[in-house]
Amino acid sequence: MANQTSSLIGADLSGLGGATALFALGTVAFGTDGSEWQYVEVTSTLNTGKLVVIGAAGTAKVLTSARFTNFASGMDIAAAQNQINQSEFGWVAKRGRQLYVLCSASFTAGTYEAGYGIAANSGRLVAGTNVAAGNTLFGIWITSSVATADFAAGVPTLAVFQWPRMVGAG
């Protein structure tokens, strides 16, 4: 888990979500391993590794294939790095190394070339070849292999996030 390198007093990037807002929504913090984090309020419970889209107001929603069009409206992509319950506030990671992501398929470490897709209504990665044409996610590189037993049990894997972005069927 990343440690904060910004000068925000009280920012705990490894902490669980909380019912009280400690920072303004949208506040950005930087951490070790080249990580960038944003403070958000979540609309549904997030497990470690769940992918979200962040709106301009600082609200994070689970990333679904139906929300790919939201990216064109200025939303960012991030992943929860710890448990944040519905209507709580917490930090989500937008960029960096050694970050957690959830998958809905087995992957070999280092696979990336075809991009990824999003499993229906889940906030989890699937192979880009398993999604509708053009609904592809780039900017994430899985660095630990994902076995069938792991994704079935909801075990997150490690990845590098380098400005995740969606390419929609335009």
List the pLDDT tens digit at each of the 170 positions of the chain.
677 778 788 888 988 889 999 999 999 999 999 999 999 999 999 999 999 999 889 999 998 877 766 555 667 899 999 999 999 999 999 999 999 999 988 888 886 656 788 877 788 988 777 666 556 788 899 999 888 888 788 889 999 999 888 766 55
Please report the pLDDT score of residue 157 as a whole number: 93
Q: Where are the domains of the chain?
A: 101-167
The secondary structure of 37-102 as a DSSP string is: EEEEEESS-B-TT-EEEE-TTSEEEE--GGGGGGGGGT-EEEEESS-B-TT-EEEEEEEEEEEEE-
Please report the pLDDT score of residue 127 as a whole number: 79
The Cα–Cα gap between 62 and 30 comes to: 22
Phi and psi torsions of 148, nearest 5°: -55, -45
